[in-house]
Amino acid sequence: MSSNVNETNKSLVILMIIMAVILAVGVFMAIMVVNRRPAPSERTVNVNGEFVTLEVDPNNRPIIQPDIPVAAEEAPAEQPVTETVVTEETEVTLEATPTAVPEAQPEAAAETSPGTGGIGEKYIFTDHVVQPQDTLYSLALNNGTTIALLARFGTATLIPGQTVVITTANPNFCPGKRTYIVEEWDTAFAIATRHGITVQQLAEMNGYTDGNIPVYVTDVICVP
Protein backbone atom coordinates (compact mmCIF):
# COMPACT_ATOMS: atom_id res chain seq x y z
CA MET A 1 0.00 0.00 0.00
CA SER A 2 2.78 2.43 1.00
CA SER A 3 4.71 1.59 -2.13
CA ASN A 4 1.85 2.72 -4.37
CA VAL A 5 1.67 6.08 -2.58
CA ASN A 6 5.36 6.67 -3.03
CA GLU A 7 5.17 5.98 -6.77
CA THR A 8 2.24 8.42 -7.13
CA ASN A 9 4.17 11.14 -5.31
CA LYS A 10 7.19 10.60 -7.56
CA SER A 11 5.00 10.98 -10.65
CA LEU A 12 3.53 14.26 -9.39
CA VAL A 13 6.98 15.64 -8.64
CA ILE A 14 8.24 14.74 -12.12
CA LEU A 15 5.16 16.33 -13.73
CA MET A 16 5.62 19.54 -11.74
CA ILE A 17 9.29 19.66 -12.73
CA ILE A 18 8.38 19.31 -16.41
CA MET A 19 5.74 22.05 -16.18
CA ALA A 20 8.22 24.34 -14.42
CA VAL A 21 10.76 23.77 -17.18
CA ILE A 22 8.17 24.51 -19.88
CA LEU A 23 7.08 27.66 -18.06
CA ALA A 24 10.66 28.80 -17.69
CA VAL A 25 11.33 28.30 -21.41
CA GLY A 26 8.18 30.26 -22.28
CA VAL A 27 9.19 33.16 -20.02
CA PHE A 28 12.68 33.15 -21.51
CA MET A 29 11.37 33.33 -25.09
CA ALA A 30 8.91 36.11 -24.19
CA ILE A 31 11.78 38.13 -22.72
CA MET A 32 13.79 37.64 -25.92
CA VAL A 33 10.92 38.80 -28.14
CA VAL A 34 10.34 41.89 -25.98
CA ASN A 35 14.03 42.79 -26.05
CA ARG A 36 14.13 42.52 -29.88
CA ARG A 37 11.15 44.85 -30.41
CA PRO A 38 12.10 48.38 -31.58
CA ALA A 39 11.98 51.19 -29.10
CA PRO A 40 8.63 52.99 -28.81
CA SER A 41 10.17 55.93 -30.64
CA GLU A 42 10.97 53.79 -33.70
CA ARG A 43 8.77 52.13 -36.28
CA THR A 44 9.67 49.69 -39.05
CA VAL A 45 7.69 50.00 -42.26
CA ASN A 46 7.81 48.39 -45.70
CA VAL A 47 8.63 50.88 -48.44
CA ASN A 48 8.71 49.46 -51.97
CA GLY A 49 9.75 46.02 -50.68
CA GLU A 50 12.41 47.34 -48.24
CA PHE A 51 12.02 47.59 -44.46
CA VAL A 52 12.90 51.04 -43.14
CA THR A 53 13.11 52.12 -39.49
CA LEU A 54 11.59 55.54 -38.87
CA GLU A 55 11.82 57.87 -35.93
CA VAL A 56 8.26 58.14 -34.68
CA ASP A 57 6.91 61.33 -33.22
CA PRO A 58 4.08 60.30 -30.89
CA ASN A 59 2.26 63.50 -31.82
CA ASN A 60 2.45 62.90 -35.58
CA ARG A 61 1.65 59.59 -37.17
CA PRO A 62 3.86 59.05 -40.26
CA ILE A 63 2.11 58.35 -43.59
CA ILE A 64 4.24 56.60 -46.19
CA GLN A 65 3.31 57.38 -49.79
CA PRO A 66 4.80 55.76 -52.90
CA ASP A 67 7.50 57.70 -54.57
CA ILE A 68 5.74 59.04 -57.71
CA PRO A 69 7.91 61.09 -60.05
CA VAL A 70 6.36 64.42 -60.75
CA ALA A 71 6.32 65.26 -64.43
CA ALA A 72 7.90 68.55 -65.21
CA GLU A 73 5.46 71.14 -66.41
CA GLU A 74 5.70 71.56 -70.10
CA ALA A 75 6.48 75.05 -71.12
CA PRO A 76 3.90 76.47 -73.49
CA ALA A 77 5.01 76.37 -77.06
CA GLU A 78 6.11 79.70 -78.27
CA GLN A 79 3.79 81.13 -80.87
CA PRO A 80 5.58 82.18 -84.01
CA VAL A 81 5.69 85.88 -84.41
CA THR A 82 4.99 87.11 -87.87
CA GLU A 83 6.43 90.45 -88.72
CA THR A 84 5.01 92.35 -91.60
CA VAL A 85 7.42 94.72 -93.24
CA VAL A 86 5.98 97.26 -95.60
CA THR A 87 8.64 98.36 -98.02
CA GLU A 88 6.50 100.46 -100.27
CA GLU A 89 2.93 101.51 -100.67
CA THR A 90 0.88 99.36 -103.01
CA GLU A 91 -2.16 100.75 -104.66
CA VAL A 92 -5.03 98.26 -104.55
CA THR A 93 -8.00 98.68 -106.82
CA LEU A 94 -11.16 96.98 -105.59
CA GLU A 95 -13.57 95.87 -108.26
CA ALA A 96 -17.22 95.96 -107.40
CA THR A 97 -18.75 92.47 -107.26
CA PRO A 98 -21.64 92.20 -109.69
CA THR A 99 -25.00 91.54 -108.13
CA ALA A 100 -26.65 88.18 -108.61
CA VAL A 101 -29.60 89.76 -110.38
CA PRO A 102 -28.79 91.39 -113.71
CA GLU A 103 -30.35 94.64 -114.66
CA ALA A 104 -33.52 94.45 -116.69
CA GLN A 105 -32.62 94.66 -120.34
CA PRO A 106 -35.41 94.59 -122.93
CA GLU A 107 -34.73 92.54 -126.00
CA ALA A 108 -33.43 94.67 -128.83
CA ALA A 109 -34.96 92.77 -131.72
CA ALA A 110 -38.61 91.93 -132.17
CA GLU A 111 -39.39 88.26 -131.64
CA THR A 112 -42.12 86.96 -133.89
CA SER A 113 -43.22 83.47 -134.69
CA PRO A 114 -43.30 82.61 -138.38
CA GLY A 115 -46.70 83.10 -139.93
CA THR A 116 -48.43 84.66 -136.91
CA GLY A 117 -48.66 88.09 -138.44
CA GLY A 118 -47.51 89.66 -135.15
CA ILE A 119 -47.15 93.42 -135.31
CA GLY A 120 -44.91 93.98 -132.30
CA GLU A 121 -42.44 92.50 -129.89
CA LYS A 122 -43.41 89.58 -127.69
CA TYR A 123 -42.90 91.51 -124.46
CA ILE A 124 -43.82 94.81 -122.87
CA PHE A 125 -41.53 96.29 -120.20
CA THR A 126 -42.97 98.56 -117.52
CA ASP A 127 -41.13 100.23 -114.64
CA HIS A 128 -42.51 99.61 -111.17
CA VAL A 129 -41.50 101.05 -107.78
CA VAL A 130 -41.48 98.23 -105.25
CA GLN A 131 -43.93 98.65 -102.38
CA PRO A 132 -43.46 97.10 -98.91
CA GLN A 133 -46.29 94.63 -99.52
CA ASP A 134 -45.06 93.53 -102.97
CA THR A 135 -43.99 89.97 -103.65
CA LEU A 136 -42.95 88.28 -106.88
CA TYR A 137 -46.15 86.25 -106.74
CA SER A 138 -48.36 89.31 -106.30
CA LEU A 139 -46.58 91.21 -109.09
CA ALA A 140 -46.94 88.26 -111.47
CA LEU A 141 -50.60 87.72 -110.56
CA ASN A 142 -51.60 91.39 -110.76
CA ASN A 143 -49.83 91.95 -114.08
CA GLY A 144 -50.79 88.75 -115.90
CA THR A 145 -47.24 87.48 -116.12
CA THR A 146 -45.13 84.76 -114.48
CA ILE A 147 -42.38 84.78 -111.87
CA ALA A 148 -40.06 83.06 -114.34
CA LEU A 149 -40.58 85.82 -116.90
CA LEU A 150 -39.98 88.50 -114.27
CA ALA A 151 -36.73 86.82 -113.27
CA ARG A 152 -35.63 86.38 -116.90
CA PHE A 153 -35.40 90.12 -117.30
CA GLY A 154 -33.84 90.88 -113.92
CA THR A 155 -36.69 91.14 -111.44
CA ALA A 156 -35.83 88.42 -108.95
CA THR A 157 -35.26 90.39 -105.73
CA LEU A 158 -37.60 93.04 -104.39
CA ILE A 159 -36.40 95.92 -102.21
CA PRO A 160 -39.01 98.53 -101.17
CA GLY A 161 -38.38 101.78 -102.98
CA GLN A 162 -36.37 100.13 -105.74
CA THR A 163 -37.51 100.44 -109.35
CA VAL A 164 -37.86 97.11 -111.13
CA VAL A 165 -39.08 96.06 -114.56
CA ILE A 166 -42.39 94.24 -114.94
CA THR A 167 -42.26 92.08 -118.08
CA THR A 168 -45.58 91.01 -119.62
CA ALA A 169 -46.74 89.46 -122.90
CA ASN A 170 -47.56 91.95 -125.65
CA PRO A 171 -51.20 91.39 -126.72
CA ASN A 172 -50.43 92.84 -130.16
CA PHE A 173 -48.12 89.91 -130.85
CA CYS A 174 -51.10 87.66 -131.64
CA PRO A 175 -53.78 89.60 -133.60
CA GLY A 176 -57.18 87.95 -133.17
CA LYS A 177 -55.81 85.47 -130.63
CA ARG A 178 -54.56 85.46 -127.06
CA THR A 179 -51.00 85.40 -125.83
CA TYR A 180 -49.77 82.68 -123.50
CA ILE A 181 -46.55 82.68 -121.44
CA VAL A 182 -45.03 79.21 -121.30
CA GLU A 183 -44.59 77.89 -117.73
CA GLU A 184 -41.88 75.56 -116.48
CA TRP A 185 -44.12 72.48 -116.44
CA ASP A 186 -45.73 73.10 -119.85
CA THR A 187 -45.53 70.89 -122.92
CA ALA A 188 -47.03 71.48 -126.36
CA PHE A 189 -49.56 68.72 -125.75
CA ALA A 190 -50.58 70.14 -122.34
CA ILE A 191 -51.02 73.66 -123.74
CA ALA A 192 -53.05 72.43 -126.71
CA THR A 193 -55.26 70.21 -124.55
CA ARG A 194 -55.86 73.00 -122.07
CA HIS A 195 -57.14 75.25 -124.86
CA GLY A 196 -59.20 72.57 -126.62
CA ILE A 197 -57.08 72.14 -129.76
CA THR A 198 -54.57 69.66 -131.11
CA VAL A 199 -50.80 70.05 -131.17
CA GLN A 200 -50.99 70.36 -134.97
CA GLN A 201 -53.45 73.24 -134.68
CA LEU A 202 -51.32 74.92 -132.00
CA ALA A 203 -48.25 74.63 -134.19
CA GLU A 204 -50.02 76.02 -137.27
CA MET A 205 -51.47 78.86 -135.18
CA ASN A 206 -47.91 79.87 -134.34
CA GLY A 207 -46.57 79.49 -137.89
CA TYR A 208 -45.04 75.98 -137.65
CA THR A 209 -46.60 74.16 -140.61
CA ASP A 210 -44.73 70.91 -139.96
CA GLY A 211 -46.65 70.42 -136.70
CA ASN A 212 -43.60 70.67 -134.47
CA ILE A 213 -43.80 73.67 -132.17
CA PRO A 214 -40.87 74.34 -129.82
CA VAL A 215 -41.91 75.16 -126.27
CA TYR A 216 -39.55 77.19 -124.08
CA VAL A 217 -40.11 78.53 -120.58
CA THR A 218 -41.04 82.29 -120.60
CA ASP A 219 -41.67 82.16 -124.36
CA VAL A 220 -44.88 83.82 -125.63
CA ILE A 221 -47.06 81.81 -128.01
CA CYS A 222 -50.52 82.35 -129.50
CA VAL A 223 -53.52 80.36 -128.32
CA PRO A 224 -57.26 80.55 -129.25
Domain ranges of the chain: 2-55, 123-223
pLDDT in tens, 122-134: 999 999 999 999 9
Tell me how crowded residue 201 is: count the other CB atoms within 10 A of its CB.
14
Q: Which residues have CB under 8 Å from 16's CB, separation 6+?
A: none
Residues 103-132 have a mean pLDDT of 64
Amino acid in position 70: V
pLDDT: which is higher, 83 or 212:
212
pLDDT at 220 over 80: yes
How large a percentage of the chain has pLDDT more than 90? 43
Bridge partners of 54, per DSSP, are 43
Per-chain mean pLDDT for the chain:
74
pLDDT in tens, 60-91: 555 555 555 544 445 455 555 444 444 344 34
Whether the CA torsion 177, 122, 150, 124 is positive or negative: it is negative
- pLDDT at res. 133: 95
Lowest-pLDDT range, 42-56, 96-110, 157-171, 186-200? 96-110
Indicate the DSSP class of residue 101.
S
223, 180 in Cβ contact below 8 A? Answer: yes
Q: Is the pTM above the cut of 0.75?
A: no
- pLDDT at res. 10: 78
- pLDDT at res. 55: 59
What number of CA atoms fall less than 13 Å from residue 54's CA on the CB side?
Answer: 15
pLDDT at 53 over 80: no
pLDDT: which is higher, 191 or 10:
191
What does CATH list as the number for 123-223? 3.10.350.10
Pairing assessment for the beta strands 123-129 and 178-181 based on DSSP bridges? unpaired
pLDDT at 39 over 70: no
